């Protein structure tokens, strides 16, 4: 855009007042103004900090050293002044989530699990989980929450101990890190974006291209069997933990159709019959969801640990593989499993005692 004295030229009144100057100036190509042809030009400024160092590597080392010293100084000064103790750190739920044994009513109260929805939005099926009404919202009974959360934690632990696939689903925007962290702890699977409808009922079309692998009891991959997997049906989870069941009706419907058990956080406006194992709690608070997902993740972690410990001792919770049935010529990978056959019975007893604990 050419910026000029717009008002001077555009205004008819002013232009009429002094037409001679404008015309006289531009009818001729000669310039009346005398100036020097050469303009003093400025080159690029020399950067002194670059010239101090011989090479980029030296500059890099010096910069890293400076940064390290600044960090050290900052750390030293951090200890000065007052220390705030017992503060709420949102990252702490992710970094160090509570274990099932840490579930207390104080923890649940502090993490706002008791806050339900407005009384007008309630689902009467939740009446047995509701403690009362305060400020127009339902308050969830925390001893119910604690009991149901402990039961769900035991379910997650037992499924993990038996090598089941546990899927953590939380599709709200802020639940991503919570979900990923819980899946990481429980060695499970996560979904934090939209659940693709049909991923269970039409699995071959939607998950058919996703990679799978065969692992032995110690979770080491058996690469010889990889080619056989190409024609294997898409996998289905053995347990689904849904952190926001109200938004994930499709997921729960597909789980129901496929007989996949589900655990869900049931707020006062949700239908508790949609999930197999409801946890009555607040699903709108990130902190509440973080505590519940953390507890379930820790439970899964304990289950996986137990399974691997048994496997390392040579005790397996299941019937060993017949190498012939696997279509395998080189049976070195599966040999340790075959040796463990006699000890299976004792293991089953262990599992049964654990189940008895879970069912209590």
Partner 1 sequence: MAWQRPSCIVQSMQSLRLRPLRSSASPLSSTPTPFLLRSQKTNARGYATETSSDSSVQGAPAAAPPAIAPAAPAIDFDQFPYRPARIVPASPSYFSGSPKFIDHLLRLQNLLAENAHLPINSPAHAQRKAWLKLPQFREFVGEPVPTKKYKSLIKVLQRINRIRQPIVPDHVNAIINEYVRPGNPYAVKPAPPTLDEMGRARGRGKRKTSSAVVHLVEGEGEVLVNGKTLSEAFPREHDRESVVWPLSITERLGKYNVWATVKGGGTTGQAEAITLALARALLVHEPGLKPALRKAGTITVDARRVERKKPGHLKARKKPAWVKR
- C-beta of 83: minimal distance to partner 1 in Å? 21
- C-beta of 137: minimal distance to partner 1 in Å? 26
- C-beta of 77: minimal distance to partner 1 in Å? 15
Give the nearer residue to partner 1 in terms of CB position, either 137 or 199: 199
Give the nearer residue to partner 1 in terms of CB position, either 23 or 84: 23
- C-beta of 316: minimal distance to partner 1 in Å? 7
Give the nearer residue to partner 1 in terms of CB position, either 191 or 295: 191
Name the residue among 267, 307, 301 with its Cα closest to residue 285. 267
Within 10 angstroms of residue 196's Cβ, the number of other Cβ atoms is 14
- C-beta of 326: minimal distance to partner 1 in Å? 6
- C-beta of 172: minimal distance to partner 1 in Å? 15
Identify whether the C-beta of residue 243 lies closer than 8 Å to the C-beta of residue 170.
yes
Within 10 angstroms of residue 249's Cβ, the number of other Cβ atoms is 14
Name the residue among 308, 311, 302, 301 with its Cα closest to residue 344. 311
Query: The tokens of 79 are what?
Result: 């200890």
Give the nearer residue to partner 1 in terms of CB position, either 139 or 165: 165
Give the nearer residue to partner 1 in terms of CB position, either 25 or 101: 25
Q: Identify the DSSP state of 258.
A: T
CA atoms of 316 and 52, how far apart (whole Å): 66
Calculate ∠ Cα 88-89-92, nearest 5°. Answer: 120
Give the nearer residue to partner 1 in terms of CB position, either 39 or 120: 39
117 three-class SS? strand
Calculate ∠ Cα 95-96-99, nearest 5°. Answer: 145
């Amino acid at each position: 855009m050419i910026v000029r004295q717009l008002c001077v030229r555009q205004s008819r009144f002013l232009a009429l007042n002094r037409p001679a100057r404008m015309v006289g100036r531009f009818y001729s190509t000669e310039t009346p103004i005398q100036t020097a042809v050469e303009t003093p030009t400025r080159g690029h400024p020399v950067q002194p900090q670059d010239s101090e160092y011989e090479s980029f590597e030296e500059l890099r080392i010096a910069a890293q050293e400076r940064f390290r010293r600044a960090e050290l100084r900052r750390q030293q000064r951090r200890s000065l002044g007052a220390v705030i103790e017992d503060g709420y750190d949102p990252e702490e739920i992710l970094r160090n989530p509570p274990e099932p044994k840490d579930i207390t009513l104080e923890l649940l109260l502090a993490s706002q699990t008791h806050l339900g929805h407005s009384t007008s939005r309630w689902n009467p099926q939740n009446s047995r989980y509701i403690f009362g009404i305060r400020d127009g919202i339902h308050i969830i009974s925390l001893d119910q929450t604690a009991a149901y959360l402990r039961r769900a934690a035991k379910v997650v632990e037992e499924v993990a101990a038996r090598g089941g696939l546990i899927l953590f689903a939380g599709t709200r925007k802020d639940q991503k890190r919570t979900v990923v962290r819980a899946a990481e702890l429980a060695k499970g699977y996560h979904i934090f974006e939209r659940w693709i409808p049909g991923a269970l009922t039409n699995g071959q079309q939607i998950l058919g291209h996703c990679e799978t692998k065969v692992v032995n009891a110690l979770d080491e991959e058996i690469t010889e069997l990889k080619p056989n997997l190409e024609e294997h049906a898409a996998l289905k989870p053995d347990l689904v933990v849904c952190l926001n069941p109200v938004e994930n009706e499709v997921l729960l419907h597909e789980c129901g159709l496929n007989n996949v058990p589900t655990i869900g956080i049931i707020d006062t406006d949700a239908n508790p019959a949609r999930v197999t194992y409801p946890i009555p709690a607040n699903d709108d608070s990130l902190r509440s969801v973080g505590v519940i997902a953390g507890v379930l993740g820790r439970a899964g972690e304990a289950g996986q640990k137990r399974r691997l410990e048994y496997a390392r001792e040579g005790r397996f919770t299941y019937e060993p593989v017949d190498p012939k049935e696997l279509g395998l010529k080189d049976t070195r990978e599966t040999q340790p499993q075959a040796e463990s056959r006699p000890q299976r019975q004792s293991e089953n007893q262990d599992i049964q005692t654990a189940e008895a604990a879970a069912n209590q």
